[in-house]
Amino acid sequence: MSDAEREAEESEYRDLIQSMRNSGVFVAAEEVEHYDAARTVRVRQGVVDVSNGPTARADEYVTGYFLIRVDAFEDAIHWAVQIPNARTGSVEVRPVMDIDW
């Protein structure tokens, strides 16, 4: 991706977040480091194992997330289709579990 293309995409992200804020659905959004920066942590029978890299290698991986508050799954889809990565990769939409802590 060229510098101009990267700048245009970043502008799209900023505009989308502002639109989400204006609509009152925005909660949070973050970009995450490349999967090579991941560490996978497991505890088995009290023994801690930390390994370099993600849990599993894949062709597609998480590059960031949006957390929005909407009334219906269809509303989440409405926002997901506007995420620039939807045009070149994919956007996974999941509801947050309602857990009463």
- Tell me: the pLDDT tens digits for 5-32? 999 999 999 999 999 999 999 999 999 9
d(CA 15, CA 36): 29
Q: What is residue 65's predicted lDDT score, i.e. its pLDDT?
A: 96
Which three-class secondary structure state does DSSP give residue 101? Answer: coil
CA quadruple 8, 77, 70, 95: dihedral, nearest 10: -110
Highest CATH level, class, for 3-87:
alpha beta
pTM above 0.85, yes or no: no
- Where the chain has pLDDT below 50, the residues are none
Cβ(9)–Cβ(1) below 8 Å: yes
Contacting residues for 85 by C-beta, under 8 A, at least 6 apart: 63, 91
Q: What is residue 37's predicted lDDT score, i.e. its pLDDT?
A: 92
Contacting residues for 28 by C-beta, under 8 A, at least 6 apart: 65, 66, 67
Which ranges of the chain would DSSP assign to H, the alpha helix? 3-23, 73-80
